[in-house]
Amino acid sequence: MDVQTQNRTSMDSLQSRIRDIQEATRGVTAQYGRAYILECIKEDRFPDELWAKLGEFGLLGLSIPEEYGGSGGGVLEITVLNEALALAGVPTLFLVVTGLGRVPIVRNGTPEQIRKYVTPTCTGEKKMCFAITEPNAGTNSFAMNTLATPNGKGGWTLKGQKVFISGARDADFMLVVARTTRASEVKNRTEGMSLFVLDMNTPGIKLQQLNIQVETAERQYMVFFDDVELPADALIGEAGKGAKLMFEGLNSERLLAAGAALGMGDYALAKAVAYSKERKPFGKPIGSYQALQHRMAMAKAQIEAARLMTYTAAERFDAGEDAGAHANMAKLLGSEAAVAAVEAALQTHGGYGFDRDYDVVTLWPMLRLLKIAPINNEMLLNYIGEHVLGLPKSY
């Protein structure tokens, strides 16, 4: 088989996997669509029925090897899932934090740890969230103060706090990034960081809900660790060497966030297109007005370009290549495209865009948030400037 034939076969296989995931996801969202998720948001409850159905269809097991109860594939497949859910108006931050939280465990944990912490998440029996950001450190995660110290019994004692932790109330496990050596005591800032998996029923964990105005079923929390005792098997990989593991998870997080942006961007754009074909204040559809048509066309072009970057980055990640630059570009382009799409939808709907019953303004907070979280776009530009273009560090 020549190289061209191999490449074509590989591409056909990839497209087939993507179509299968999209079709399976539509089977779920046909039952639990936009109206369902808005009801969950209103009632402040986790979308348990949706989550269970995703597990039943094997979709939660994407990216996890079959030997550990998963459905196989990699970050590409679960990114496609996240995009497909968002395309149906059912974005879930929990899939982002679950997807990123499992990556370091699968890649660096023992078989026993994978079976204990990851396998139950493939069916939806257990849920996992992720905790890295701190009130004082913010984007500078290396300056975190949360500390884990040996407890003299083979395990660890965790003390500190985290903020903006999505879904902490509904999680069974939490992957926590903590220092095992204080930042002031290491020569290189990447040293002395470790990853731990916490059982959320462990004594000493306290949650404080934040008043974040974003239309998602997952709430955001401040999390306090007051001398939380952890067993030895809570540590993933080697103590003090967790920075590399952390970035493995964060790169996958960028891609999952990009997937959500792409799906929600297309969802918002579809609403704009449909409305612009029906609205005729001057006798002809407003979709024929170039002022609106060009805005929507540009947003679509941006979404498609971001999709190509996202899928390329995910393929690189799954192939074990350095995907940092591509993952950062994917999240940057995806979030910018999504905001352009929802802005087009708001402008097209005019005053009705701000009527919650039209479900357009409800999309804006989450899509605008994606330019800030899980990492702000300014830091992504800094990364590209420094690590891709070779420019002097700017901060």
**143 within a domain of the structure (yes/no):** yes
Do residues 359 and 376 both lie within one domain?
yes
CA angle 203, 171, 129 (to 5 degrees): 105
Does the pLDDT of residue 34 top 70, yes or no? yes
212 and 322 co-located in one domain: no
Percent composition of the chain: helix, strand, coil (DSSP 3-state, to 5): 55, 15, 30
Do 73 and 99 lie in one domain? The reply is: yes
**Domain end point (choices 209, 241, 273):** 241
Give tens-digit pLDDT for 61-93: 999 999 999 999 999 999 999 999 999 999 998
Q: CATH number of the domain that 373 lies in?
A: 1.20.140.10
Q: How far apart are CA 133 and CA 220, in angstroms?
A: 12
| Boundary (domain end) residue, out of 126, 157, 183 | 126
Confidence of residue 1 (pLDDT cuts 50, 70, 90): low
Instruction: Assess whether 62 and 189 both reside in one domain.
Output: no
Q: Are 218 and 302 within one domain?
A: no
**pLDDT over 70 (residue 9):** no
Q: For residue 395, is it within any domain?
A: no
Tally of structural domains, the chain? 3
pLDDT tens-digit series, residues 276-303:
999 999 999 999 999 999 999 999 999 9
Amino acid symbol at 351: G
- Comparing 70 with 249, the larger pLDDT belongs to 70
Structural domain contains residue 188: yes
Cis peptide before 65 (omega within 30 of 0): no
Q: Is the pLDDT of residue 200 over 90?
A: yes
Model confidence at 4, pLDDT cuts 50, 70, 90, reads: low
Does residue 93 or residue 30 have the better pLDDT?
Answer: 30
Q: Which CATH number fits the domain that encloses residue 120? A: 1.10.540.10
pLDDT at residue 133 tops 70: yes
Does residue 31 have a pLDDT over 90?
Answer: yes
- 75-87 vs 93-108: helix crossing angle, rounded to 10: 170
Domain assignment present for residue 393? The answer is: no
What pLDDT, on the 0 to 100 scale, is given for residue 138? 85
pLDDT band at 139 (very low <50, low <70, confident <90, very high): confident
Q: What is the mean pLDDT of residues 164-186?
A: 96
Range of the domain at 79: 3-126
Please say if the pLDDT value at position 271 is more than 70: yes
Domain contains 42: yes
Residue 292 to residue 278: CA distance in whole angstroms: 14
Residues 329 and 269 occupy one common structural domain = yes
Judge if 349 and 315 occupy the same domain.
yes
C-alpha span between 313 and 52 (Å, rounded) = 29
